[in-house]
Amino acid sequence: MIMTDIIVAGIGQTVVGEHWDASLRTLALQAIQAATQDSGGLKPQVLYVGNMLASSLSRQAHLGALLADYAGLTGIEASTVEAGGASGGAALRQGYLAVSSGLADVALVVGVEKFTDVIGPDLEAALASQTDSDYESVHGMTLTSQAALLANRYIYENQIPAGGLANFPLTAHANGVGNKFAMYRRAIGLDVYTKAEPVCEPLNIYDIAPNADGAAALVLTRRELLPNGFPHPVVRLAASTIASDTFALAERGDMLWFGAAQASILQALQKAGFTLDQVDLFEYYDLFSIFAAMSLEAAGFAGRGKGWELARDGAIALTGQLPCATLGGLKARGNPGGATGVYQAVEATAQLRGQAGQNQIEGARLALIQCLGGPASIAVTHILETML
């Protein structure tokens, strides 16, 4: 049992977008330097890198050693963690375990992805590697087509009206306006969503998060090791859990239920000693609108087939009962691949510190964040809490 408080001492991030003029290592260094400075100059003993596709897209493996060297941290323990779209969350869990176990006093976690190193069919092939290569991608299945099939079934089973998922991207884009690190900072209306051409029925371009370059970083330490005069409200990483499910979607007993997402959230709440009604904000994994709806249901915020109603009724807006994607989510901030889980933790920390600007949720003290690998084949959940 963990008997010490694990604190998010430093946060840093780059703008999410198309960084044609920056390399993967350069983006990572920018985030690392920002997080280190924010922590008051704490020196890490371990580095965990969350990345999904650098070996395929950037032709660069061995990121732990590369980034430790480039950041001037040669000699520390350093390794890469890969868990599909949940890579950043899995790397954060490794940092949490290292500090809580006493292996390290200070851990540095960085998530980084560089999608623009490859364009066209090669990028689609790399992304499809998150599906089952023997039984799914070999037949031309992509994550987008898979999500579209899932959405069609969800809409049919639950008799959802046309445009029933629209308020997920509308909420994300409204929140992205106030995030200076977001890829898209313009709100959209229902008319814009309705007129958008479909990408893969029933999903249109606004139902799919854009792949983008970016890096985010966190510095973790124990509370007693915070530097004197620490200038920020103290945010504790209260729980970290990970769960997996049947890998191939078609082989699950129930395709319309994210079992791993449910399991990891239940475990996190139990370990942290909280209940769902204490959660002030939820950063879900809205790679596709259908994922957002199903994540709300798996978490227990909505009944089966009712997750879309929370978006329709405004419950997930900044002023709603459960603010979600509070700084734009994957849809407006952009989808930085394996870095997503670290971005979520940075954004949640900013909210709990009271540093979210015009997107600030008044009185926010407890944040739930979750990232998914594939169609929730793996789910990583963290709970963050402001300490008074």
Joined together, the tokens standing for residue 126 give 């790399």
Task: Provide mean pLDDT across the span 339-355.
Answer: 98
Cα–Cα distance measured from residue 264 to residue 249, given in angstroms and rounded to the nearest whole number: 18
Cα–Cα distance measured from residue 125 to residue 11, given in angstroms and rounded to the nearest whole number: 33
Q: CATH assignment of 121-209+238-386? A: 3.40.47.10
- Tell me the per-residue pLDDT of 287-337, one tens digit each, with 9 for 90 and over: 999 999 999 999 999 999 999 999 999 999 999 999 999 999 999 999 999
Could you state, in order of their start, the residue ranges of all structural domains in the chain? 6-119+211-225, 121-209+238-386
- φ/ψ of 112, rounded to 5, equals -150, 145
Q: CATH assignment of 6-119+211-225? A: 3.40.47.10
Q: Using pLDDT thresholds of 50, 70 and 90, give the confidence band for residue 3.
A: low
For the cut 50, the answer to whether the pLDDT of residue 1 exceeds it is no
- Tell me the per-residue pLDDT of 253-301, one tens digit each, with 9 for 90 and over: 999 999 999 999 999 999 999 999 999 999 999 999 999 999 999 999 9
For the cut 70, the answer to whether the pLDDT of residue 134 exceeds it is yes
- φ/ψ of 64, rounded to 5, equals -55, -55
Task: Provide mean pLDDT across the span 107-134.
Answer: 89
Alpha-carbon distances, residue 83 vs 237, 250, 286 (angstroms): 20, 20, 17
Task: Provide mean pLDDT across the span 214-220.
Answer: 98
pTM of the shown model: 0.97
H or E segment to which residue 215 belongs = strand 214-222
Cα–Cα distance measured from residue 223 to residue 232, given in angstroms and rounded to the nearest whole number: 13
- Tell me the per-residue pLDDT of 136-168, one tens digit each, with 9 for 90 and over: 888 888 899 999 999 999 999 999 999 999 999
For the cut 90, the answer to whether the pLDDT of residue 123 exceeds it is no
* Terminal-to-terminal C-alpha distance of the chain: 22
What is the overall mean pLDDT for the chain?
Answer: 96
Look-up of token digits 């909505």: 302
How crowded is residue 45: how many other Cβ atoms within 10 Å of its Cβ?
Answer: 16
Q: How, if at all, do strands 198-200 and 235-244 pair?
A: unpaired
Asked, colleague to colleague, whether 6-119+211-225 and 121-209+238-386 share their fold, the answer is: yes
For the cut 80, the answer to whether the pLDDT of residue 2 exceeds it is no
Give percent of the chain with pLDDT exceeding 70.
99
Three-class DSSP category at 387? coil
Alpha-carbon distances, residue 91 vs 238, 308, 345, 375 (angstroms): 16, 30, 12, 19
- Say if residues 387 and 238 touch (Cβ distance below 8 Å): no
Burial of residue 133 (number of CB atoms within 10 Å: 0-12, 13-18, 19+): exposed
